[in-house]
Structure 1
């Protein structure tokens, strides 16, 4: 497949694929329902709405939407369980977080009885369409792993690489971000980044090119990399940005929307089904 370079490319690709059914857990969330309505109009997905039936029906009337199956639930725990049951039965192939706590939904997903976990680590990947860039950028992890250790960072990279490949990026370029682009023993994040780059060279991390430490500017701007005298296959050309903790990842992802007018979509990967989480 050709490389998908924008949200429009993603929509066009989705239209050509088999239509999916999304189980929205916590369907009292009006904005999430609006997203499902739009996906249905585009012909890329149908939806199951799981939440307080009375509230969900009222919201559907307010936005003028119809033809959605509603599964009544009494609280967040009940909604999460019913959502997971939907994907286990095959009634839906994607979970989407609505008005429920992330921790409650993911705790249900990870229960042994469902056998949904396929990776040792679940991680969050944001796909970003940023004005001025000629490609999609991926960001991880701004939504799941609070302060990953070295082994967890390796798994975060591997999960993000799988997503990048789904977007047609054959050998993704991965930048391990820190505040600076040199190793500083007083900044442990720079040490991890350098180790991850060496692990990639030693084939301990495969199917991608990893470099680090890199600062944000010289990870995405060839001009900035040239000014700093950084020469690598990744500098200025990164496809995937790996942040040192959840705080930096979360803030960077949201800044794309609020400061740059970009578009983002987030998904938790590592389970048998994708979990939409923005």
Structure 2
């Protein structure tokens, strides 16, 4: 179990050096995060983009020794950076100053990208003040209204990441508005189907419950008051969201009301991908890099 981002940083440092490939690296905020990651001792980096723009920024940040691959066109730089990961010269891919759709097209390029055939999904990580563990949410960033098959893919991606992070048997809550299966609430039908499949061993090593409401998943007291017996209440590692709205609102509520620190990564490709929001703090971006590095180390 991971209890804090400090623990994540410590584990990455002891797990062997990881190289980060940055697509369209001519972005001061991204390069500042790369500099922080190097100072923390968690990764090296190679930069892809316009050398005439990257050079002065890198010099200012003490990154002049990093290799720069010249590819001034942002869309092309995304393909080039993805190919560096594909060829094993880097282990983690990070988005720089490139449009997200162009970046993802580079990731999924059939010849040079990181396509695996798996669904691409987003995993959010939260360190919440007062809590004794990191908490994982999926998917509040990519898949808008996943059907049952998409939820299977999202779950498999997230579980693979948690296993790589050292969780041998993570607790998974398939979130819904309540615990009753209601044909008018598709999320409850999907949750029951996923838990039935888990019972047949289709999701590997984890403990899964659903449909389960957020209060029951978080609070053993709430479970007791509602007369619900749960093996995971108060000990959930991974929350599977029914749709992107729920994931987005839940995540932002933790950040802005509970003052949680978020990290995030994109899963389902041949390597972890760091794709952060412009609104994300520098520390948040650093922690996203660290989580991606730790997943990469654990997947080797």
TM-score, structure 2 length as denominator? Answer: 0.84
Deviation at 1:11, TM superposition (A): 0.3
In structure 1, the partner of 2:153 is 155
Equivalent of 1:44, from 42, 45, 69?
A: 42
- RMSD after superposition: 2.0
Deviation at 1:155, TM superposition (A): 1.8
Contact 2:79 2:113 in 1 (8 A): no
**CA 132–97 in structure 1, closer or farther in 2 if over 3 Å, else same:** same
Equivalent of 2:180, from 175, 179, 182?
A: 182
Task: Say if 2:38 is the partner of 1:73.
Answer: no
- Whole-Å Cα distance in 2 between the matches of residues 32 and 178 of structure 1? 36
In structure 1, the partner of 2:141 is 143
- Count of aligned residue pairs for this structure pair: 276
Deviations 1:36-63 (A, max 9, x none): 1111011110112223333333433555
3-state SS in 1 of match to 2:133: coil
In structure 1, the partner of 2:95 is 97
Structure 1 runs of 4+ aligned residues shifted over 4 Å read 61-65
**CA 185–41 in structure 1, closer or farther in 2 if over 3 Å, else same:** same
3-state SS in 2 of match to 1:112: coil
3-state SS in 2 of match to 1:68: coil
- Whole-Å Cα distance in 1 between the matches of residues 117 and 76 of structure 2? 25
Task: Say if 2:19 is the partner of 1:9.
Answer: no
In structure 1, the partner of 2:21 is 23
Equivalent of 1:198, from 186, 196, 206?
A: 196
- Whole-Å Cα distance in 2 between the matches of residues 134 and 267 of structure 1? 22
- Whole-Å Cα distance in 1 between the matches of residues 10 and 212 of structure 2? 33
- Whole-Å Cα distance in 1 between the matches of residues 61 and 246 of structure 2? 35
In structure 2, the partner of 1:258 is 256
Deviations 1:192-245 (A, max 9, x none): 112111211122322111111122222122222222222111233211001111
- Whole-Å Cα distance in 2 between the matches of residues 76 and 9 of structure 1? 35
Higher relative contact order (CA 8 A, sep 6+): 2
Q: Which runs of 5+ in 2 are unaligned?
A: 277-300
- Whole-Å Cα distance in 2 between the matches of residues 203 and 113 of structure 1? 34
Q: Which runs of 5+ in 1 are unaligned?
A: none
In structure 1, the partner of 2:104 is 106
- Whole-Å Cα distance in 2 between the matches of residues 259 and 68 of structure 1? 39
